Structure 1
Amino acid sequence: MEKNSELDQATLRLTVSACALLYIVVLAGLDPGAAKRYAPIIIYIVTFICASVFLRMAIKRWPGHFFWRRLFAMVHDYTGIAFAMVLGGEGALPIYAALLWVTLGNGMRFGSRYLALATVIALSTLVLIFWLNPFWHTQPYMFLMLIVTTIVVPAYAHILLKRTRIASEEAIAANQEKSRFLAQASHDLRQPIHSIGLFTACLRDARLGLEELRLVDNIDRSLHTVSQLFRSILDIYTLDHGKWVPQADTVHLGALLQDVVKQNTEAARWAGVELRLRACPYWVNVNPGMLTTMVQNLLSNALKYAPGQPVLIGVRRQGKGLAVVIYDKGRGIASEHLPEVFKEFYRVRHVRDKDVEGLGLGLSIVKRISQLLNVDIHIRSIVGQGTKVAISGLEQAAPRTSAPRVSGARDRLNGLRVCLVEDDANVLMATSALLEKWGCDVQGHSDGEGLSSDCDIVIADFDLGTKVSGAECIAAIRAQRGWEVPALVITGHDIERIRQSLQNMNVSVLAKPVRPPELRAVLLEQLKAMDRQGEAPTKSSSEPD
């Protein structure tokens, strides 16, 4: 929400006028003989405060930039100051500080234009005070000092404002340039990481010896670490720039957790961890991408710091809500470290910690996402016994459809006709090779313009150059086929932005780099949906042998 500077100015006006009233009352009390002289000032300041209250109410009721209202507020302020200084004489001299405050306050809050206008009105006010009060006729040098101060201080403030504005504009430009660079670098870095992961999966399925398989396993493990670090850095950047806006959806919590477990099967095998997931029949109202990121980061921590030990993931009822709980039997966290673990780059140091990959960003990301989702994150840990982490406050929802169940859907991808559209040659080659290893019939295209296909499913990169996008390719094939062909978009851009742009197209979206198990799981889900709807023409039914 944009800050209402005019409302702040009105609040401060009431505060300063109350202090001025208190000062005049004290003066009247210290000099009872001059009480009659101060009485009109007290009455005026009380009236001034009442008028200021109504002015503040108007500003709150009708916020916005209204020049004449701001001009009225300035005249209102300077009139009160002039009245007090004319009637108060020498004793009211400290009220000059309020005149200087009004001048600087208008400039600092509303800009150089209002600073210049306030300075002109302030100088006119001082001339009026000098003309109406004989005391100032006997103090010409003091009055000159006030005039000079009223000119010099705002002039210096104007210089500072100008420098600040220029620095702010340069910072905004630099930040925009950094955002553009990071967006492009993110896309360009995701491509090779994505293709290497797919090539590695192809090698794993090839007929290799034990030594070669061990090397492939090490490559895959290192790539998994790079992918996690890369995603953590991008998540922090996205959170820092407020680009992650939660949009809730009705999600089957058990299916979401099962997907996370599937995506971490290989990482768990490397760590010697047995992942145990308790079945969950509940539905929740939450942003699925953000909740997945939270669970993924917590599970990643458990795999790092509890190697060789089982990790349990479950869901518990908590009042009217639900909590996702992750238990591990790792080394635990000492109580003095618990308040610090959610800070960026903070890591609890132990012997051989240099062997544990990571930047210390995972829990920081979890904490910040929990604030966006309005859920709580709690950690309980005992050194030597393990750690329990709970994401609580999830809002339970009514099922949108019947809960996922294992049906007679095909559990293999043999014969699935895939239209693959990808403009990066290496990614196209790697994805095609992997899909063919899984038994798919792949129709590869490096350009989506004028595309035609009789496929069962479309897999498209979102960004295909300047002529056509992945979404347009999917729409063209659906229009050509006359039915809503299942589709999957894989993107190297901001996944939340892409999801929002495709929310009316009923397509799945994955972010590069995609892990092969993640890709396979999405394709199998698409197959199950096609079988349930009876919309998937198989090769045997649509083509003669």
Structure 2
Amino acid sequence: MLNRILGREQGEQREELARLRAENAALKAENALLNRLSAPAPLLAFVQDNDLRYVWAKGPVAAFGPGVLGLTDLDIRNGRGKSAEGFTTLHAIKGRILETGRGERHMFRLEIPGETESRLYDLVLEPHREPDGRITGIVGLGLDITVETARRGAVALAEAQAVKAEAERANRAKSRFLAAASHDLRQPFQAMRLFLHLLETRLTDDPQRDLATKLTESLDATEDLLNALVQISALEAATVTPTPTRFALSTVMERLAGEFRPLAAANGVKLRYVPTTAQVNSDPVLLDRMVRNLIVNAVRHTRKGGILIGCRRRGTTAQLQVWDTGCGIPADQLPFIFDEFYRGETAAGTPTAQSGQAKRDAQHGLGLGLAIVKKTATLLGLTVTVVSTPNRGSGFTITLPLAETVRAPAPRPILVTEVRPAAAGPATEPVKEPPPGPAQHPEVKEPGTAEPPVKEPSKDQPPSGVLVALLEDDPLQLAALEAMVEDWGCVPLAASTPEALFEGLDKTDATPRLVISDNRLPGNRRGMDVIAEIRKRYGGDVGGMLVTGDTDPQLMEQATAAGVVVVHKPIAPPRLQRLVVDALQNGTGQDGTGAGQGRAPAPPSPGISPGSSRIAAAARS
């Protein structure tokens, strides 16, 4: 009996020993597996007790030394200083897990002793629970993702660089398109306008003249669309670089008032300009574009009354204002009027509810003018505001820094203000009166306010028989210019290259009185250089005029300094004729106001009669 009992107990002991040996082998195998995992994958693994002391550690934590067991994260931090600052955050996270009983996942950067760079771990922390559910510590497992993160970062950087390169390529393509649109696409429009003007002067039948008028209106609308699209595209492509300078506001305002006064008068509206002495810091070319669009908008939507252009000083700023007594803008549309292609109803109704010129103007409105104003203002860092009273009129204000002040570098936002009461209105520098309303329009002159003289286009013909050299590489435009100059009674010398022009000049004893040239010529030649060379040969009294689509500010400065008139395509034939007359008779500079004023007109070129085509033919041969 006793032997049987002893034998049974020994058997149980052997079974228990075998079980323990199996468990020990399993633990060794598990430990070996962890060791193998830790080696190639830089695995971080550890177990901490309820006091957050390490009771087991593998991987980078163990690299802090054999004495890490029994320490907390704070102990490691205190012993390692800045190299173990991350353990402070880690200790706080683990304490929160013990309190909440919920595991967490974190990205943890660890500086390993003996390594030059820190390592990034994707760390999972879970509470260690006993079978009865009690939390007795923390179990942590982390994977070194430093290399993978760097690889992903490199891929993302490469993708970003590829996207940037593609965007730059698209931007360059857009810039090339803008350059082509600004120059090449304007060429046929300029030729069409010149030929159309010649056709109109030869038509005597009223129905035919009506057809020519409709053709002119269609050409105007097409040019407006092209110009607006080119301007919007250039602003969006960031190809426009402002050139801030100090200048008198009157140089922009007076010129635009003189230009648009006849157009407003044709619509039965009087345009008034109140002079100002304010000087500002901005880009005069871009400001001209903004004010031009505001005036066009005012002329388009004003059927009676007037338009007032003026300026008011406000502290360190000047407020350039354009007011009209038009139909006004409904309050619910004010927030959208600066959006591209927005063509909302006016207070007077839809465009189809209007008639005559009003209907045509509304149809020609593309919804781009005010968008150009907004984008240009943002580029210049200026503020644009608008107030409007339905059926009473609207007022737009551009706020600019006075020349005595320093302009803030950060652009200010475009503001759209609320509808102003009927008593509100414009304020111009010399004017103290409230704005015009339905009963008091701008055509009623205030006492003591002098109206600036209107500069009407000259109706005189150019001096008869003078030699005018023409240089243009576009055949259609060259033919149109030649026909136009010949129609004025001058003798054209037309050439498509500088070499052909000089060859033609060498074949005649006549001295050119005026050179009309494009600026961009074949072989990277410049019209400015050709004019300078002709003046060197024939004397500085030879007039120079560039008819170009190039709006480079440097070109404008060079031309002004050289006394060369700059005319931007497309140009209306009557204005071109006026500028030619000014250049031949007065030697005026850009746009009729420049170098050489007061110079006596040179005598007609000897030996050449009006209408001669001998020289033009020689220049083309």
User: TM-score range, shorter-chain basis?
Assistant: 0.5 to 0.7
Letter in 1 for 2:519: F
Deviation at 1:344, TM superposition (A): 2.1
Distance 1:37 1:373, change over 3 A: closer
User: Given the alignment of the two structures, is residue 387 of structure 1 paired with residue 384 of structure 2, yes or no?
Assistant: no
Q: Give the paired residue count.
A: 442
Q: Percent identity, aligned pairs only? A: 25
Is the 2:467–2:605 Cα contact (8 Å) retained in structure 1?
no
TM-score, structure 2 normalization: 0.60
Q: 1:99 — aligned with what?
A: 109
Q: 2:38 — aligned with what?
A: none
Q: 2:462 — aligned with what?
A: 414
Distance 1:226 1:195, change over 3 A: same
- CA–CA distance in structure 1, aligned partners of residues 254 and 486 of structure 2: 26
Q: 1:175 — aligned with what?
A: 171
Is the 2:329–2:394 Cα contact (8 Å) retained in structure 1?
yes
User: Given the alignment of the two structures, is residue 377 of structure 1 paired with residue 384 of structure 2, yes or no?
Assistant: yes
Between Structure 1 and Structure 2, the one with more helix by share is 1
Distance 1:322 1:275, change over 3 A: farther
Paired residues for 1:10-409 under 5 Å: 38=74, 41=77, 79=83, 81=85, 84=88, 97=107, 99=109, 121-123=117-119, 142-143=140-141, 145-147=142-144, 149-249=145-245, 251=247, 253-254=249-250, 256-264=252-260, 268=264, 272-278=267-273, 280=275, 282=277, 284-285=279-280, 286-306=282-302, 308-319=303-314, 321-349=317-345, 351-353=349-351, 355=359, 356=362, 357-393=364-400, 395=402
Deviation at 1:383, TM superposition (A): 0.7
Is the 2:467–2:512 Cα contact (8 Å) retained in structure 1?
yes
Distance 1:500 1:222, change over 3 A: same
Deviation at 1:299, TM superposition (A): 1.6
- CA–CA distance in structure 1, aligned partners of residues 350 and 90 of structure 2: 77
Deviation at 1:150, TM superposition (A): 3.4
Distance 1:509 1:151, change over 3 A: same
- 3-state SS of paired residue (1:449): helix
Q: 2:473 aligns with which of 423, 438, 446?
A: 423
Letter in 2 for 1:428: L
Deviation at 1:297, TM superposition (A): 0.7
Q: 1:445 — aligned with what?
A: 495
Across the aligned residues of Structure 1 and Structure 2, the Cα RMSD in angstroms comes to: 4.3
Segment of structure 1 superposing worse, 354-363 or 496-505 = 496-505
Between Structure 1 and Structure 2, the one with more strand by share is 2
Indicate the structure (1 or 2) with the bigger Cα radius of gyration. 2
Is the 1:263–1:518 Cα contact (8 Å) retained in structure 2?
no
Deviation at 1:186, TM superposition (A): 4.0
Distance 1:359 1:210, change over 3 A: same
Distance 1:235 1:242, change over 3 A: same
- CA–CA distance in structure 2, aligned partners of residues 435 and 151 of structure 1: 75
Q: 2:519 aligns with which of 449, 459, 462?
A: 462
Which fold has the larger relative contact order, with Cα–Cα distance below 8 Å and residues 6 or more apart in sequence? 1
Is the 1:378–1:389 Cα contact (8 Å) retained in structure 2?
yes
- CA–CA distance in structure 2, aligned partners of residues 181 and 517 of structure 1: 30
Stretches of structure 1 that go unaligned for 5 or more consecutive residues are 1-26, 29-33, 49-78, 103-118, 127-138, 398-403
Deviation at 1:333, TM superposition (A): 0.4
Q: 2:603 — aligned with what?
A: 539
Q: 1:514 — aligned with what?
A: 571
Q: 1:474 aligns with which of 525, 531, 551?
A: 531
Deviation at 1:292, TM superposition (A): 1.8
- CA–CA distance in structure 2, aligned partners of residues 516 and 247 of structure 1: 30
- CA–CA distance in structure 1, aligned partners of residues 72 and 106 of structure 2: 22
Q: Kindly provide the CA deviation profile for residues 242-292 of structure 1, in whole angstroms up to 9, marking residues without a partner as x.
A: 22222245555445334434544675466x243423352636344332122
- CA–CA distance in structure 2, aligned partners of residues 335 and 97 of structure 1: 53
Is the 2:298–2:324 Cα contact (8 Å) retained in structure 1?
yes
Q: Kindly provide the CA deviation profile for residues 18-72 of structure 1, in whole angstroms up to 9, marking residues without a partner as x.
A: xxxxxxxxx99xxxxx999748848988xx6xxxxxxxxxxxxxxxxxxxxxxxx
- 3-state SS of paired residue (2:330): coil
Deviation at 1:459, TM superposition (A): 1.5
- CA–CA distance in structure 1, aligned partners of residues 176 and 340 of structure 2: 24
Stretches of structure 2 that go unaligned for 5 or more consecutive residues are 1-50, 53-69, 98-103, 122-136, 353-358, 405-451, 506-510, 589-594, 610-621
